[in-house]
Chain A
Amino acid sequence: MLPSRLYQILSAKKMRGSLWQLGQSITRRLAQADKNSVARRFYSADSELKKTVLYDFHVANGGKMVPFAGWSMPIQYKDSIMDSTLNCRENGSLFDVSHMCGLSLKGKDSVPFLEKLVIADVAGLAHGTGTLTVFTNEKGGTIDDSVITKVNGEHIYLVVNAGCRDKDLAHIEEHMKAFKAKGGDVSWHIHDERSLLALQGPLAAPTLQHLTKEDLSKIYFGGFRILDINGASCFLTRTGYTGEDGFEISVPSEHAVDLAKAILEKSEGKVRLTGLGARDSLRLEAGLCLYGNDMEQHITPVEAGLTWAIGKRRRAEGGFLGAEVILKQLADGPSIRRVGFFSSGPPPRSHSEIQDEKGTNIGEVTSGGFSPCLKRNIAMGYVKSGLHKAGTKVKIVIRGKANDGVITKLPFVPSKYYKPS
Chain B
Amino acid sequence: MALRMWASSTANALKISCASKANLSPTFALSKCFSTVLDGLKYANSHEWVKHEGPVATVGITDHAQDHLGEVVFVELPESGVSVSQGASFGAVESVKATSDVNSPISGEVVEVNTKLSESPGLINSSPFEDGWMIKVKPSNPSELESLLGPKEYTKFCEEEDAAH
Contacts and interface: CB of A to CB of B under 8 A. Distances in A.
B165 A20 contact: yes
A80 B69 CA distance: 10
A370 B96 contact: yes
Contact of B100 (A10, A19, A293): A19
A245 interface: no
A163 B76 CA distance: 34
Contact of A25 (B9, B46, B96): B9
Interface string B1-37: 1111111111111111100000000000000000000
Interface residues of A, number: 50
Given A81-B70, A349-B99, A23 B3 contact: no
A163 B63 CA distance: 34
A128 B5 CA distance: 41
Interface stretch (A88-96, A275-283, A355-363): A275-283
The secondary-structure label for the interface of chain B is loop
A78 B73 contact: no
A243 B58 CA distance: 44
Interface in B78-115: 92, 94-101
Given A20-B162, A347-B73, A370-B73, A75 B92 contact: no
B7 A11 contact: yes
B74 A345 contact: yes
A104 to B, nearest CB: 31
Contacts of B95: 81, 370
Interface residues of B, number: 40
Nearest to A62: B16
Nearest to B162: A20
Contacts of B68: 19-20
The 8 closest A-B pairs by CB, nearest first: A64-B13, A349-B6, A22-B11, A23-B11, A75-B13, A66-B11, A22-B9, A370-B73
A290 B70 CA distance: 22
Given A16-B3, A347-B73, A281 B9 contact: no
A88 to B, nearest CB: 14
Nearest to A375: B73
Nearest to B97: A277
A81 B9 CA distance: 12
Given A75-B12, A78-B16, A16 B101 contact: yes
